[in-house]
A and B are shown apart, each in its own frame.
Chain A
Amino acid sequence: GDSVTQMEGPVTLSEEAFLTINCTYTATGYPSLFWYVQYPGEGLQLLLKATKADDKGSNKGFEATYRKETTSFHLEKGSVQVSDSAVYFCALSETGGTSYGKLTFGQGTILTVHP
Chain B
Amino acid sequence: DVKVTQSSRYLVKRTGEKVFLECVQDMDHENMFWYRQDPGLGLRLIYFSYDVKMKEKGDIPEGYSVSREKKERFSLILESASTNQTSMYLCASRDISYEQYFGPGTRLTVT
**Binary contact readout A1-24 vs B (1 if CB under 8 angstroms, 0 otherwise):** 000101000000000000000000
Chain A: minimal CB distance from B17 (Å): 25
How far is it, in angstroms, between the C-alpha of A72 and the C-alpha of B31 when the chains are bound? 27
| 15 A/B residue pairs, CB under 8 Å, sorted by A | A6-B42, A34-B99, A42-B104, A43-B4, A43-B104, A43-B105, A46-B99, A95-B98, A100-B50, A102-B33, A102-B48, A103-B35, A103-B43, A107-B40, A107-B42
Residues of B within 8 A of A (CB): 4, 31, 33, 35, 40-45, 48, 50, 56, 58, 90, 92, 94, 98-105
Which of B4, B44, B98, B102 has a CB less than 8 Å from the CB of A101?
Answer: B98
Query: Could you tell me the distance in whole angstroms from the C-beta of B55 to the nearest C-beta in chain A?
Result: 11
The B interface, classified by DSSP as helix, strand, loop or mixed, is: strand
Q: Is the CB of A107 within 8 A of B41?
A: yes
Contacts of A103 in B (CB 8 A): 33, 35, 43, 45, 92, 100
Structural contact, B41 and A49, CB atoms closer than 8 A: no
Mark out the residues of chain A between 25 and 54 whose CB falls within 8 Å of any chain B CB in the assembled complex.
Answer: 32, 34, 36, 41-46, 49, 51
Query: How far is B31's CA from A66's CA once the two chains are assembled, in angstroms?
Result: 25
A85 within 8 A of B: no
Complex alpha-carbon distance, A91 and B31, angstroms: 17
Please state if B31 and A100 are interface contacts (CB–CB under 8 Å): yes
